[in-house]
Amino acid sequence: MSEFRFSPRPNRANEIRWRSWGDAAFGEARETNKPVLLAISAVWCHWCHVMDETSYSVPDIIQVINDRYVPVRVDNDERPDVNRRYNMGGWPSTVFLTPEGEIIHGGTYIAPEQMWQALNGVDEVWSTKREEIAGRVAELREHEAAARKPKSGELSADIVDTVGALVRGQYDPQFGGFGRAPKFPQVRLLRFLLDEYRRHGYPDLAHMLHKTLGAMAASGMHDTIEGGFFRYATTREWNVPHYEKMLEDNAELLAVYAEAHRTFPEAGYDRVVRDVVRWMDTVLWRDDVKAFAGSQDADEVYYELDEAGRAKHGAPFVDRTIYTNWNALAVSAYVAAADALGDDAIEERAHQVVRAIAARMLARPGGQLMHFDRGDGPRVADLLGDWAAFLQAALDEYETGKHRPALAGAIQAATTMRERLEDAADGGFFDAPERAEPGRVALREKPIEDNALAADGLLRLAALTGDEHWRETAVRALRSFVGTYRAWGQFASSYANAVARALAEPLSITVVGPKDDAKATALWRAARSVDDPTRSVQRIIPDEDGGRLEQLGFPRDRTAAYVCVGTSCSAPLSDESSLRRELERARGRLEKV
């Protein structure tokens, strides 16, 4: 299998002597005293393909790169840690680096004439102003060190309100969505709005949600022939998409539409849920490994054809690589979709993926969670995004009530994540463990969205287990961003949502009763239907969960539900109507947030 992937259309980019990211390439740059040309691309990326076909196919450019640079090619999906530190604002990212991995110059797509100028310009600067570059890099490092100093603070509802005001300010009242063009789904922002509506019932939030979810489903963003959503729209009206389809985006959109259906069952979002599942099952599902492939390429010609025309043309390339974090997001989405549609087959598929991640991506011995596998073995260990998404997937799996060992898996995931990635001094989680990596990848970072996902999972775990250590770790992580969250703009929406969970008293619903007991089944159905944004649910079968039942302190000989707000639990609730009344009373606590 080739290490590098290029445009599927004719090009000469493979004539460039690309190196893999690693010490060997940067060591060569130091030995030969050449700058590094870093190309960050993605297999699904339209403009990456265009750059392969244009700038990287010009013979003179190929020769200059091979003669005067050490060219390094990185796949964004495989190395999100490299991308996080060197992305220039989109894909492709074209970055000129010193042999030590510091940025000299960069951009995104660079057309041939401008690429020729950049190659010669950087070469001249590197030859004549090397000391000046070194001085500038030293100043930048000093400034970044100061910027990285923690700015912790206390969690408060002001954080949630501040982000909420930012979101309202970005809303496009004419066409839905946020900002102008290009327009992205911004799924985590939508989930924040949905949970804020669930907390407070503000009508304007419901309007923004319906306008945006409806606009995306009815626009060119949504492939009504094959199902699924394209990555983003190039226009404010959502009608001209960029045609790549991503597992990550579709999994998160699936979860949002499924959750929106839970809260707004008459809005018709269940139709969108079925449509996204149809595409994921048909195009991305890999029955050989019981997991989802990563993406499907952009192809403007194909997607502008009708169904018959597509059949004649042939479908765009599917990247069959298995990505842990994206598959974990798919697990959570399929659990939500199964709830929305009442479809056990969808839930079983989620369970298959959890087992595949555990079998294929958890390396033994050592318990490292690997990031991706192209088919030649899993690579890149212990990224925060993988652990955080896997923790959430394990909790969602547990809360189906059918896979009780998943709770032990969630505890193990949280334990390993804390041991390998937590900043013990200042709180929060680094995006990767300490390791020998070239350039800026050696500097550990704390991405706010991955930290929010991790903290949210730990808060859920604390509510389910009663172990306050998980809550303390989550709160420390969230507090570490109090002084900086505003700078993250829209990307702070998932952070604000996790803060809101931390500020509210957790709601835990436990249903105890025999496996096939009709009353227990009715109580469980009612518990699962609750759309409270902080709720956790668990199904206890006395004959199988004796130890867990003893830990919780509920009687084993009584079929009942128990509603706990914080550490205060209700009396046994033996029928569905009394459970729903108790849950309605519990909802009042959210007004305190």
- Cβ distance 461 to 414 under 8 Å? yes
Residues of the chain with pLDDT under 70: 1, 145-148, 591-593
Q: What's the pLDDT at 136? A: 84
If one counts the domains in the chain, the total is 3
Coil/strand/helix, residue 131: helix
Q: Which residues pair with 422 in a beta bridge?
A: 429
The DSSP element (H or E) to which 507 belongs, if any, is strand 507-512
Whether residue 6 lies inside any domain: the answer is no
Whether residue 331 lies inside any domain: the answer is yes
For residues 386 and 521, state if they share a domain: no
Compute the distance between CA of residue 33 and CA of residue 51 in angstroms, rounded to an integer: 26
The one-character DSSP state at 317 is P
For residues 340 and 387, state if they share a domain: yes
Assign residue 21 the CATH number of its domain.
3.40.30.10
Q: Which of 503, 523, 542 is the last residue of a domain?
A: 503
Burial 349-383 (b: 16+ CB within 10 A, else e): bbbbbbebbeebbbeeeeebbbbbbbeeebebbbb
Angular region, 434: left φ>0, alpha ψ -120 to 50, beta rest: beta
For residues 117 and 260, state if they share a domain: no
Compute the distance between CA of residue 446 and CA of residue 478 in angstroms, rounded to an integer: 11
Coil/strand/helix, residue 502: helix
Condensed to tens digits (0 to 9), the pLDDT of residues 461-520 reads 999 999 999 999 999 999 999 999 999 998 999 999 999 999 999 999 999 999 999 999
Coil/strand/helix, residue 364: coil
For residues 162 and 143, state if they share a domain: no
Coil/strand/helix, residue 380: strand
Whether residue 570 lies inside any domain: the answer is yes
- Block residue for tokens 């190196």: 19
Compute the distance between CA of residue 451 and CA of residue 462 in angstroms, rounded to an integer: 16
Q: Which of 503, 521, 539 is the last residue of a domain?
A: 503
For residues 499 and 514, state if they share a domain: no
For residues 531 and 393, state if they share a domain: no
Whether residue 173 lies inside any domain: the answer is yes
For residues 47 and 175, state if they share a domain: no
Query: Whole-model pTM?
Result: 0.96
Domain interval for residue 549: 508-592
For residues 81 and 194, state if they share a domain: no
- Burial of 392 (C-beta count, 10 Å sphere; 0-12/13-18/19+): buried
Whether residue 5 lies inside any domain: the answer is no
For residues 246 and 393, state if they share a domain: yes
Q: What's the pLDDT at 591? A: 66
- Cβ distance 276 to 228 under 8 Å? yes
Assign residue 586 the CATH number of its domain.
3.40.30
For residues 122 and 167, state if they share a domain: no
For residues 263 and 349, state if they share a domain: yes
Whether residue 1 lies inside any domain: the answer is no
Angular region, 554: left φ>0, alpha ψ -120 to 50, beta rest: beta
Q: What's the pLDDT at 135? A: 84
Assign residue 408 the CATH number of its domain.
1.50.10.10
Whether residue 2 lies inside any domain: the answer is no
For residues 107 and 232, state if they share a domain: no
Whether residue 27 lies inside any domain: the answer is yes
Q: Which of 91, 114, 148 is the last residue of a domain?
A: 148
Compute the distance between CA of residue 304 and CA of residue 365 in angstroms, rounded to an integer: 49
Q: Kindly report the length of the chain.
A: 593
